[in-house]
Copies of this chain bind each other. A is one copy, B any other.
Amino acid sequence: MDEVRQRDRAGTRRRILDAARKLFTELGYDQVTMRLISAEADANVALINRYFGSKRELFAEVLAMQGRFPGVLDVPEEELPRRLAEYVAERLRSEQASPVMAALIRSASCSEIHGLIRDRVSSAILEPLAARLPGPEAIFQAAVATALITGAGTLSQLYGPDAFDAPDRETVIRRLTAVFEACLRA
Contact = CB atoms under 8 A, between A and B. Distances in A.
A116 B139 CA distance: 34
Contacts of A183: 175, 179
Contacts of A105: 154
B158 A114 contact: yes
The secondary-structure label for the interface of chain A is helix
A117 B69 CA distance: 28
Given A152-B147, A167-B137, A179-B179, A109 B158 contact: no
Contacts of A163: 143
A109 B150 CA distance: 13
A50 to B, nearest CB: 28
Given A30-B30, A150-B151, A151-B149, A140 B175 contact: yes
Contacts of A109: 28, 30-31, 106-109
Interface of A: 28, 30-31, 92, 105-111, 114, 117-118, 121, 136-137, 139-141, 143-144, 146-152, 154-155, 157-159, 163-167, 171-172, 175-176, 178-179, 181-183, 185
